[in-house]
Structure 1
């Protein structure tokens, strides 16, 4: 299997960051952090550019662009605008695919429109920006030997699945598989690195525009149904803030990975809950493998 992220990455002075979904949460925190670094440049994007008013308008290091990741035309326009703004110096060092929202609720009641919109945003939007970013990084690398990092924001939901979020999990699992596969396509000399960021619960606006719900289904309404029990635990966690991560902590971790001058991890669980649940899932999977060892072998040596 082709190895990934084989060389240490050094963040250059004057690096250009492109971040999607900067209107709130992780995207806003990371855009704010990058904007505070005098030797870094920022392309901050959001569906509504007015949501980026927290960033200064008179800083030549910062470019604010409208970008709807569900629209190929919008993605193309954003890359064209960035190229026009930066001119002959157009390149991308760090790309962060952060745009997305959670769709929760009873899976049986999810509509075609809801499910397609969720996967379009989480997966196809990430894929669109990623492939355009690879092209830019490849071309610039040939001339300047720099490479880059593409951070795809997944979630604990990209590692472990819970009741009542089937299509959100589907989108995040797709991002994980897509990212790992594309990372293995890169030639080591390109030094184009990938990092799948997998935070657990983040203190963000998930009860606002970052969260959508399917209509309730009467067959799943009882309090003892798994999804209803989980909703109760989640509400307690949101209310108390226990084990919840600040968006600024995620931003700090991403910046640390980009700037520390070391190899980039393919996966980065963030938060104690994410790390422990990732470890528990891996250990449980090993146990399950041993349990079906003889059946799985199909007469072949294992």
Structure 2
């Protein structure tokens, strides 16, 4: 199996960052942080560019662009605009796929339109930006490589009731990202980091989350999805979760510390503990079916 992220990554002093979903939350904090760094360039994107007014105008290192990751035309236009802005020296060093969307509720109640909208944003949007970014990075004359952060979630490793399509999208992103990372030629020095935070204090619930119409068969309070809803709502009232600014600082640290980039990065104690527990449970499950799995062969 082709190894990934072989060499330590060194962030160029004049690195160009492309960040999706910069209107609020994690994306906004990353864009704000990079804009504050001398000589670092930021291409900040949002579906509505008016949501990027928090970034100053008139700075040649800051480019604000409209970008809807669900639209092929919009993605192509954003990459074209960035290349035109920075001219023949255009390069991408760090890409943060942060644009997000969640569809929550009873799986049986989801409509075809709701399902497709969720997958378009979470999975296909990530694919579009990733593949175009790789093309820019590997074609750079200076062979300076690059780093792609995929903002996944604990939901990309562990599945919980009432979020089937969000999990499907994040699981797909993680599988896609690992596979593509293993396709990279070592000389390209293109690195991937799949970031898996647990709760983050953003307005994601009201801004980028859709709820499926409740299904009558799942309304009882003892249903797993209803129990989880109560737990999550209680956590939100208590202000549980990490600050998006702290996550932004972690990403910059990973990019600039001149060490090997981790392929997977669970963030937060909850994410680390639940992820570790899942794999420990899987190992036990594998042992329980070892004789069956062997199909008469030696394991």
TM-score (norm 2): 0.99
Matched residues in 1 for 2:188 and 2:205: separation? 41
Q: Which segments of structure 1 move beyond 2 Å, counting only runs of 4 or more? A: none
Q: What's 1:121 paired with?
A: 121
Counterpart in the other structure of 2:48:
48
- Aligned residue number for residue 191 of structure 2: 193
Q: State the match for 1:2 in structure 2.
A: 2
Aligned partner of 2:250 in structure 1 is: 253
Q: Is there any run of 5+ residues in structure 2 with no aligned partner, and where?
A: none
Question: 1:157 — aligned with what?
Answer: 155
Deviations 1:129-155 (A, max 9, x none): 000000000001xx2121000111100
Pick aligned residue for 1:269 from 266, 269, 275: 266
In structure 2, the residue matched to 1:168 is: 166
Q: Which residue of 2 aligns with 1:215?
A: 213
Secondary structure at the counterpart of residue 206 of structure 2? coil
Describe the SS at the equivalent of 1:180. helix
| Structure 2 CA distance for aligned equivalents of residues 301 and 246 of structure 1 | 49
Matched with 1:300 is 297
Cα shift readout 1:141-200 (whole Å, capped 9, x = no counterpart): xx2121000111100000000000000000000000000000000011110000000000
**Unaligned runs of at least 5 residues, structure 1:** none
> Could you say what secondary structure the match of 2:117 adopts?
helix
Deviation at 1:38, TM superposition (A): 1.0
- Which residue number corresponds to residue 19 of structure 1? 19
What SS does structure 2 have at the residue aligned with 1:194?
Answer: strand
SS at match of 1:207: helix
1:238-281 deviation per Cα after TM superposition (whole angstroms, max 9, x unaligned): 11023x11101110111111000000000000000000011101
Inter-partner Cα distance in structure 2 for 1:121 and 1:207: 16
C-alpha displacement of 1:58: 1.5
CA distance in structure 2 between the partners assigned to 1:20 and 1:301 by the alignment: 48
**SS of the residue aligned with 1:51?**
helix
- Of residues 171, 175, 180, the one that matches 2:178 is 180
User: 1:206: Cα distance to partner?
Assistant: 2.3
